[in-house]
Amino acid sequence: MNKKVTAAITAVGGYVPEDKLTNFDLEKIVDTNDEWIRTRTGISERRILKGEGLGSSDMAAPAVLELCRKKGLDPLEIDCLICCTVTPDMVFPATANIICDKIGAKNAFGFDLQAACSGFLYGLTTGASFIESGRYKKVVVVGVDKMSSIVDYQDRATCIIFGDGAGAVLLEPNEDGEGILDSILRSDGSGSQFLHMKAGGSKKPASIETVMAREHYAYQEGQAVFKFAVKGMADVSAELLERNNLTGDDIAWLVPHQANLRIIDATANRMGLPKEKVMINIQKFGNTTAGTIPLCLWEWENQLKKGDHIVLSAFGGGFTWGATLVKWAY
């Protein structure tokens, strides 16, 4: 009898730019202060990609190359590359194509996937389907965002939250029951009014007026988003445990999207997890949108043990949210 094929994460890579933007730097730009930012978000600093003509692909490419180096993988072996981002290098072509070109993945097909802060989870489930079908053997999922390119540094409510960064994982077939075991993904487009970019799309193309009105930046109604996020992320994470007959005791780590420390705490509490089992690096990197979850995996990689059950959880613009159960494979 054929064993069930699952998609296992077999390597992780990451990249954050060197330049730091601290809360004290922000105090000089907008009316805010370090204590206010830390108590409300948990963030002390974030990384910013500086340099003329640099985009998301310039962070994603080194993250994927690091993954290849660690795994001893020739980029020519990659079958598919999925780039999850809301800050593509250009509107088109897909940033995935540019990444593949930069790393020499000449045999891969690639496309971008846009689900805001839940992007990496959506990408993971999509990539896993390619593996489970038996059609492809090596799928790379990258979560990357250069949020500094769409953040209004005159808006103190949003500019304190976001940073730049990239993380990537390799998915390969597994027959030992390890890898991505279950996912619950949700979306609700009625939430789009609370978190979006006003202009630059087909509905409202760029014009002198839209630029002057500062409509090419992320717009967020913080209170509404916070309320939905706390409920959405906690609910779906608890539902995932229940569906798989697991409790917090069975989970080695929660890998939450790093949007806000209070949302992370609410999710952990709902799952019955102590703080020691929660990956948190928001204080260093802020919210890198699709980059948060893979950057956590990248930082905690050496603490993950073969057989560990971990839960990845996110909430983002769309609204999109979800939770994924992973059994660590190495």
- The pLDDT assigned to 203 comes to 97
Sequence-distant (6+) residues with CB within 8 A of 195 are: 116, 218, 219, 220, 221, 225, 316, 317, 318, 319
d(CA 132, CA 255): 23
Given this model, what pLDDT does residue 243 score? 98
CA 22 – CA 100 distance, rounded (Å): 33
Sorted by where each starts, the structural domains of the chain and their CATH numbers stand as 6-177 (3.40.47.10), 181-282+295-327 (3.40.47.10)
What is residue 168's three-state secondary structure? strand
Phi, psi dihedrals of residue 300, rounded to the nearest 5° = -100, 5
Percent of the chain surpassing pLDDT 90: 99
pLDDT per residue as tens digits for the range 154-194: 999 999 999 999 999 999 999 999 999 999 999 999 999 99
Q: Any residues with CB less than 8 A from the CB of 35 and at least 6 apart, and which? A: none
Q: What are the percentages of helix, strand and coil residues in the chain, rounded to 5?
A: 40, 25, 35
- Among left, alpha and beta (phi > 0; psi -120 to 50; other), residue 12 is beta
Q: What is the DSSP letter of 152?
A: -
Give the tens place of pLDDT for each residue, 83-97: 999 999 999 999 999
Catalytic residue among 68, 257, 260, 296: 257
Q: Please provide the average confidence, as pLDDT, over all residues in the chain.
A: 97
Task: From the candidates 84, 100, 287, 296, give the one annotated as an active-site residue.
Answer: 287
Average pLDDT over residues 105-117: 98
- What pLDDT is stored for residue 3 in this prediction? 85
Q: Compute the distance between CA of residue 223 and CA of residue 115 in angstroms, rounded to an integer.
A: 20
- The question of whether 117 is a catalytic residue gets the answer yes
pLDDT for res 276: 97
Write out the DSSP string of 227-282: HHHHHHHHHHHHHHHHHTT--GGG-SEEEE--S-HHHHHHHHHHHT--GGGB---H
216 is catalytic: no
117, 159, 174, 296: the catalytic one is 117
Please state the pTM of the whole predicted model: 0.97
pLDDT at 54 (0 to 100): 98
Q: Does 2 have pLDDT greater than 80?
A: no
2 is catalytic: no
261-286: average pLDDT: 97
Asked whether 6 and 183 are in contact (CB, 8 A), the reply is no
Q: What is the pLDDT of residues 184-239, one digit of tens each?
A: 999 999 999 999 999 999 999 999 999 999 999 999 999 999 999 999 999 999 99
Give the Cα separation of 1 and 144 in Å (integer): 40
CB 290 within 8 A of CB 116: yes
Is the pLDDT assigned to residue 1 strictly greater than 90? Answer: no
